[in-house]
Structure 1
Amino acid sequence: MTFYRTVGDIPPKRHTQHRDPDGNLYREELMGEEGFSSDSSLLYHRGVPSAITDSVVWEVPDQTRTPNHPLKARHLKLHDLEFADGDAVTGRRMILGNNDVRIAYVVTGTDASSLYRNAIGDECVYVESGAGTVESVFGVVAYRTGDYVVIPRATTHRWVPSEPSRLYPIEANSHIHPPKRYLSRFGQFLEHAPYCERDLHGPTEPLLVEGSDVDVLVKHRAGGAVVGTTMTYATHPFDVVGWDGCLYPYTFNIDDYMPITGKIHQPPPVHQVFEGWNFVVCNFLPRKVDYHELAIPVPYYHSNVDSDEVMFYVGGDYEARKGSGIGIGSISLHPGGYAHGPQPSAIEASLGADYFEESAVMVDTFAPLDLGEAGLACEDSAYAWTWAGRGPAAADDTGDGGPAVFSNS
């Protein structure tokens, strides 16, 4: 995030004395990326940001990963999952993951989540449905259906839903930012970018909360594994009277993305919205489609030579997947080493179309994705065979041992 913002009470010169009306010195904290060599913000605390009174193990949600072996396409039905814990943090269930990124899902209630800090990497949380706020040391940002909520690494925050929310957290082991090709060398969005600074919404005023011995759940790495610690802070972390800089949480709504279209089918990079280390995030939105007189609007078959492709279907009727069983709330995983594309019946059906009413969030990774416990729990095992119209020899519903058959219509 490279767009400067100032919020609350800060001194005229950085790294100088800044005192409250009673003469007490505020504690300055530099929160920065890549050591002292990249984006940062300076925060001014009433208390001591490093003062903790306890540190104990927090058992993070199940991080078990199962390789996609034998290799096949997968259909995961997220709306079939059950959630005993409506906490936006502790209730997350892992769908897919590798050593670069983890994709989870959670359905919240209306209670505020635990205070939480991800010390492994940035988080980009897509709001499938719902509304509320995210409170943090930087202040408050409101979220609504269709928002991406981007939260920098090590930001103490909590989710406060005003209504039950379906959240799709993308947890990186790196930073998440707009694609470099959208930005000038100084960080301004360029004219060809499909969104700009006006579409990004960050905190506008400080959030001050009193408290002592406050627990914060910290996700971090130890011994190569994702683990958790509960740190108890002497004073409430939300004690920042002001800050300035280029690092802070913000929201971006999917409706503010301007799709790029062309005379013939455009490849997925034109739909990119964010990137991290070894992965990208794209969104496919309602849009006019190809206008060449012989155009085929749905995608051509393609091999993911270097990446796994994950599509989360969040709205409309996704043209290329008609007849596959996929609907809103579904995820498709098309792994590297496997050619994939539209369902056969979708190709002819798309001819002559001039508009697609569909919304999906895509994550492409450059390392294979494993399945999390929740991914295994909600799989539609018939999906891999839908292009052929039949699966491996198996007992059918009549019990006569005939092959299972799946519709492409």
Structure 2
Amino acid sequence: MSLLDRKRRQNLSDGLPAKKSEGGYEYMSGFGNEFASECLPGALPEGQNNPQRCPYGLYAEQLSGTAFTAPRETNQRTWLYRIRPSVKHYPYQEEEAGHFTSDFKDVPVTPKQLRWKPFDLPAADRVDFVKGIHTLGGAGDPCTRYGAAIHIYTCNSSMANKAFYNADGDLLIVPQLGTLFITTEMGKMEVSPNEICVIQQGIRFKVDVTGASRGYMLEVWGNHFILPNLGPIGANGLANPRDFLTPVSHYEDVETEHVVVAKFQGKLFSAKQDHSPFDVVAWHGNYAPYKYNLKNFMVINATAFDHADPSIFTVLTCPGQLEGTALCDFVIFPPRWAVQDHTFRPPYYHRNCMSEFMGLIYGNYEAKEGEFQPGGGSLHSIMTPHGPDANCFTGASNAALNPVRVADNTQSFMFESSLSLKSTTWALKTCEKVDDDYWKCWQNLPKLFNPNQK
């Protein structure tokens, strides 16, 4: 690549050079920036978006992530300059969706605490990312543009000449086992365990893997993820904008049959085309996929007594209809120091007006060590009580309150939603991973009450 090409493959909005990951992929840094990237010198039109003839014989195409009339501070769109417009494909045909669903009308309902053992890796050969998606639960309706769904994926094969896009909403992907090599219309990303990525509504992508892979996925309908406001924390902290990475442009000029799979109103449809959908030579805008390494999260915590609410661990939030209440938050519990005096330091017993789904990427979760396993999950529904198990309570109640390192080799996370989530039949029965003994972890909590001793 020439020096001129390298200079052009930059975040032209703020002059920050493209960064390189360990895998050699290049990225531009910043959250929600106006990015610009081109593979060929001068591929981006100067001074306008849609010239009569685009450079290099490219087609101009706009991808809108918000309404045209959305306020400037929330308006999201990207201009793509591609070899062929994305409209050039054969008619859509409905596909079998398997256990990938957005329909929660006729599924079982239960308020009980749920915990799943690690989900099995595929037994069959050639299970790609899309085929390996299984829905655990959700609420709402993509047709009315408000709701969310929680999925797990298990796969062992690359998508090859297949692409996928979600017309219903955004996807937040959390790898737990195996690295994902993701090709998008805007460029390539390498996403490993302890990293996340967000691929917004409508953006086409494919996932390549080098072996068995497993992870979690949060789907939101009706809004996009943003960074949480910091309030009295000040200007810095939590997930810093500079640590989010968006890929630089990369294109394929390939004239072989490809299949594009669309998720539309909860169903899957496929369309064949005679060329690669990843033929974008240049693009500019603020609607593009991104990745983030969870090790960069700046933890804020209590240093005197008691707990701050777990909202201080929020990486990304998708705003809901009620101000101050999220459609979904993505929250992590990273390694940190605990130093509070006169405090029961693990998570306290709790009932919540939000639904809480937890997953474990690696290590042990402090409140249920050994029982909650990587690759599994738990769901505590709205107003269902939950908290540390009996062993954790006994240990933490009697521990010396010296400064201690919490969960030094672990990473757990939570999808927290204001929606009352329903679990699918697959999640409750078919997958055969429900831990039927979960409720027993609290049964040995002793009665300690003594009216004669304070």
TM-score by length of 1: 0.85
Structure 1 runs (4+) greater than 6 angstroms displaced: none
Correspondence 1:306-345 to 2 at 5 A: 306-322=353-369, 325-345=371-391
State how 1:227-238 maps to structure 2 within 5 Å: 227-238=267-278
Change (3 A) 1:345 1:151: same
Helix, strand or coil at the partner of 2:91:
strand
- In structure 2, relative to structure 1, the CA distance for the partners of 1:330 and 1:234 (3 Å cut) is closer
Q: Which amino acid aligns with 2:436?
A: S
CA distance in 2, matches of 1:314, 1:101: 21
- What's the CA shift for 1:218? 0.2
Q: Does 1:121 align with 2:169?
A: yes
| Residue 151 (structure 1) aligned with residue 183 (structure 2) | no
Give the aligned partner of residue 186 of structure 2.
138
- The 8 Å contact of residues 10 and 18 in structure 1, kept in 2 or not, is answered as no
- 1:388 aligned partner: 443
What are the Cα deviations for residues 281-320 of structure 1, in whole angstroms up to 9, with x where unaligned? 101111111x23212111121111x211111022222121
Aligned to 1:92: 133
Aligned to 2:313: 271
What displacement does 1:212 show? 5.0
Counterparts in 2 of 1:389 and 1:361: CA distance versus 1, 3 Å? same
CA–CA separation in structure 2 for the residues paired with 1:336 and 1:303? 7
Shift in Å, 1:209: 3.3
- Aligned mates of 2:436, 2:139 — CA distance in 1: 22
- SS of residue matched to 1:162: coil
Gaps of 5+ in 2: 1-30, 141-146, 321-326, 446-454
Cα distance change, pair 68–261 in 1 and its aligned pair in 2 (3 A) = farther
Match of 1:61 among 82, 89, 98: 98
* Aligned amino acid, residue 40 of structure 1: R
Deviations 1:215-267 (A, max 9, x none): 2000010xxxx111112235432111100111111111111112211123221
Displacement of 1:126 after TM fit? 0.3
Alignment of 1:166-315 (within 5 A): 166-182=214-230, 191-221=235-265, 226-263=266-303, 264-276=306-318, 277=320, 278-289=327-338, 291-304=339-352, 306-315=353-362
Partner residue, 1:400? none
**Whole-Å separation in 1 of the counterparts to 2:159 and 2:201:** 20
1:142/1:33 CA distance change after superposition, 3 Å: same
TM-aligned CA deviation for residue 197 of structure 1: 2.8
What is the SS of the residue equivalent to 1:340?
coil
Q: Distance in 2 between matches of 1:236 and 1:182?
A: 42
Identity %: 21
CA-CA distance at 1:198 after TM superposition:
2.6
The answer to whether the 8 A contact 2:356-2:417 is kept is yes
Tell me what 1:5 maps to.
Answer: 35
2:17 alignment counterpart = none
**Alpha-carbon separation, structure 2, partners of 1:178 and 1:134:** 22
When residues 382 and 168 of structure 1 are mapped into structure 2, their CA distance, relative to the original with a 3 A threshold, is: same
- In the aligned structure 1, how far is the partner of 2:217 from the partner of 2:87? 27
The structure with the greater share of residues assigned to strand is 1
Q: Tell me by how many angstroms 1:383 deviates.
A: 0.6
Cα displacement (A) at 1:190: 6.8
Bigger Cα displacement from structure 2, 205-214 vs 234-243: 205-214
Is the CA contact (8 Å cut-off) linking 1:53 and 1:232 kept in structure 2?
Answer: yes
Please, which of 415, 422, 430 is the counterpart of residue 363 of structure 1? 415
Task: Name stretches of at least 5 consecutive residues in structure 1 with no aligned partner.
Answer: 184-188, 391-409
Closer/same/farther in 2, CA of residues 251 and 349 from structure 1, 3 Å limit: same
Question: How far apart in 1 are the matches of 2:121 and 2:252?
Answer: 37
State the TM-score, normalizing by the size of structure 2: 0.77
Report the count of equivalent residues: 375
Aligned residue in 2 for 1:403: none
Q: Equivalents in 2 of 1:253, 1:273: separation in Å?
A: 11
Q: Indicate the RMSD between aligned Cα atoms, in angstroms.
A: 2.4
